[in-house]
Chains A and B, each alone.
Chain A
Amino acid sequence: MTSTDTPATTRSGVSGPPVRRRRKKFSFDRVSFFVVFLGIPVVGYLIFVIWPFLQAFYYSLTDWSGFSPDMNFIGLKNYVNLFQDSIFLKAVGNSVTLLIVLPFVTLVIAMAFASIIVLGGPSNGPIRGLKASSLYRVVSFFPYVIPAIVIAIIWSFVYDPSAGLLNGILQSLGGNWANSFAWLGNPRTALVSVIFVIVWGLVGFYMVLFIASIKGVPAEIYEAARIDGAGRFRTAISITVPLIRDNIQTAYIYMGILALDAFVYMAGLEAGGGPGNSTLVISQRLFTTAFTKGQFGYASAMGVTLALITLLFAAVVFAVNRLTGGTNEVSE
């Protein structure tokens, strides 16, 4: 790079003022700035993000076993098989269910908590939260501090049919049916049980995120609303949500990506895909296909499909936000 700007400097020395601006353009400072802050990140991005993605796409068109350098190009056969693979389709169904339920439930609860903590205080005097709001804020953040895999393992003990905390409590409250009831082993309760754990683990984080954004809204707006006679619920729906909608959109997309993955939680709670595959998710199926079945080509096709679903989800969230009157431009 430095070699290219040397000729530029010599030429500009001869040509005078108009070219001087050009010299400034290619000065060492400027070029090195671009190299360091644009060139290197772009190269890194290409090598570590785009290139592996293209590779995965290529592998998805082969019958690669994953354990040898040999593979045959088989076109779109993997994709054709994918859409006739009832277990994979079941996994897609479960992932999509998580995608619909998880962000919505988590964010509604997080939003409710955040509103109560920041705005739920007495209705006279300045706008403020509950008395011990800072304590609640800290306590509800606790689950987020614990790594996901630990959360999953702890909850699998809680859900244990014979010795678990949950069935113990239910039985002491007189629920005899809870004796040996397998929360994670019954197709009707498995997915709900898993969803509860994920929500429990993440509500605190999104609550803190929303608290920060609500605090960014000028208090005068809330005061004005109160003077106009708006109740707390009305304030939350008509004032808070529209004013922090960018944060909600971001949170929605991240929650959605997590829901589409969910691998860690599933590995701890339902490593085998759950009863009747009722909690099997795409990432789990991908993992078994690649490593225990030795079908890396087929697994790559699953990865590409998962990527497409993720992109589609992000597009839908952006579109919904735009159609409902939100700013499309991201606040920088």
Chain B
Amino acid sequence: MKTFRKGIAMSMKDKQIERRTFFRGAAVAAIMIPLSGTLASCATSGGGDSSTGKKSKNNPFGVAANSTTDAVIFKGGYGIAYAQFAGKQVSKLQKGSTVKVTAQTNIAQTLQPRFVAGNPPDVIDNSGANLIGINTIRGQLEDLTDVINADNYEGKKISDTLYAGVTKPGTFDGKFVQLNYVLTVYALWHSESLFKQNGWTVPTTWDEMYELGTKAKAAGKYLFTWGKEAATYYQTLAISSAIKEGGDEVRLALDNLEAGCWSKDAVQQVFTAMKKIIDAGYVKPGGAGTQFTAAQAQWSDDEEAILYPSGSWIENEMKTQTKSGFTMTGTPEPTVTKNSKFPAAALHSTAGEGYIVPSQGKNVAGGKEFLRAMLSKDAAVNFAKSTLSSTIVKDTIPEDGFGSTALVSQVKMLADAGTNVFSWNFVDLYGMNTDQLVVWNTFLSGVPPSPSSRARCRRSPTRCATTTR
């Protein structure tokens, strides 16, 4: 692209400039060229012509014989092999029908034209950094209640096999439009072996956290580390902690973005406690300029930091960059006081990796059938085994967690929490993460000292003390 522009620059010179500025300015417009012809036609096209076959016990949605299902799967930490596995399960049961699994990393950019043209895929794994904000398309999606009311491939009703509350994050105004497949537990992760070796315990309150920070510093380590694209993991930690402290009242205030919700006592107490830790220098500096996986490796490989707040995908994500003997273990997020509204074992857990079935797809029944296969025992166990993560289907993880300490601790945390499991939606629902990253990078950086002021500090420490306060 760059060379192309320069090529024109050399040969055609200034006459071209006006044309080129137009072209540049119309960057957004350029994206829309392919759409212009289709805009008019989509009013008439639509889901009505979705082909269906005869419904039966083995074919509850009536997948047409010899049909193809177009599945677009986000290719991230989990890969797409698990989806191909489920696709094969479908073709085994529905003779002649196949599932075409396509890997994709930029869901929003690649599928946007297909949505506008009224020609979306039959089933989409709407995930990753470039997912389609669910709020923008939820009106065009199928209600998936009939999927979880159907029987799975082993003949059990699907809704009875799922963890509690997993349909909540995908339900909007009473319509269940997004099936979040992967159960995610948010926690503070550490290496049990490292903690044992040093005689540390995982803190349950922020005061204990500060004390642990002091001990870690004495051992030449930091309490936390962060990366610029993942600074909001600390927001997730803060919100969890505030909800555990202040109860559902805090959760609802934040989720509904009530005026003054960030000023609630519980929220402010957590922020103040975090600020104390940051100011004490227990957070590894430089995170605002560090790529997030590099920062995570400082925790899992170099053990420069001893704790990291994240979702349970962390083990799989850092698989190749984890020190041997690093027994990754999760514990619930801390509270502010010992008499918090939620018990210490309460857990922030939700389902992620959202699957959607657009109503305008050519093979809506096929899309639903694919989800039915995914929710059946074979596919769910296959997923847990190959990605070391739990799906929303219960009882798919054996006692030894396929040899993963993280997975074992995840199952234990869920059991300990019982019904004290909570979550919130507002960050993803309104696409707020990009804006919040800016705030959190600044907060975690503390007062950013410039090179010159640091140099001043070396020359005269007293002057430095007055300038940084």
Contact = CB atoms under 8 A, between A and B. Distances in A.
A257 interface: yes
Interface in A190-216: 190, 205, 209
A255 to B, nearest CB: 10
22 contacts: A49-B22, A56-B29, A68-B115, A156-B291, A177-B458, A185-B289, A185-B290, A186-B445, A250-B14, A260-B24, A271-B229, A275-B288, A277-B438, A291-B109, A292-B131, A292-B434, A293-B431, A294-B137, A303-B29, A306-B24, A306-B27, A310-B24
A60 to B, nearest CB: 9
A300 B289 contact: no
Interface in B221-247: 228-229
B431 A261 contact: no
A111 interface: no
Given A159-B289, A177-B458, A275-B445, A67 B25 contact: no
A182 B445 contact: yes
A55 B137 contact: no
A300 B28 contact: yes
B257 interface: no
A294 B441 CA distance: 24
B434 A291 contact: no
B56 interface: no
Contact of B13 (A66, A185, A250, A311): A250
Contacts of B65: none
B6 A205 contact: yes
Nearest to A283: B27
A55 B36 CA distance: 9
B118 interface: yes
Contacts of A163: 294
B32 interface: yes
Task: Tell which of B15, B28, B284, B451 has the most Cβ of chain A within 10 Å.
Answer: B28
Interface string A94-125: 00000000000000000000000000000000
B298 interface: yes
A273 B434 contact: yes
B140 A68 contact: yes
Interface string B438-463: 10011001001111001101100000
A147 B3 CA distance: 9
Given A51-B36, A275-B448, A276-B438, 6 more contacts: A59-B28, A67-B140, A68-B136, A162-B290, A184-B289, A291-B109
Given A52-B29, A293-B431, A69 B118 contact: yes
Interface SS majority for chain A: helix
Interface SS majority for chain B: helix
Interface string A261-282: 1001000000111011100000
Interface in B1-44: 2, 5-6, 9-10, 13-15, 17-30, 32-33, 36, 39, 42-43
Task: Tell which of B26, B291, B431 has the most Cβ of chain A within 10 Å.
Answer: B26
A19 interface: no
A66 B450 contact: no
A74 B221 CA distance: 56
Interface string A62-77: 0001111100000000
Interface of A: 45, 48-56, 59, 65-69, 87, 147-148, 156, 159-163, 176-178, 180-190, 205, 209, 246, 249-250, 253-254, 257, 260-261, 264, 271-273, 275-277, 283, 286, 288, 290-294, 296, 299-300, 302-304, 306-308, 310-311, 314, 330-332
Given A56-B28, A69-B118, A303-B29, A160 B290 contact: yes
B193 interface: no
Nearest to B42: A69
Contact of B286 (A52, A161, A209): A161
B403 interface: no
Nearest to B120: A67
Nearest to B10: A209
B252 interface: no
Task: Tell which of A52, A253, A293, A302 has the most Cβ of chain B within 10 Å.
Answer: A52
Contacts of A261: 24
A294 B27 contact: no
Task: Tell which of B2, B291, B445 has the most Cβ of chain A within 10 Å.
Answer: B2
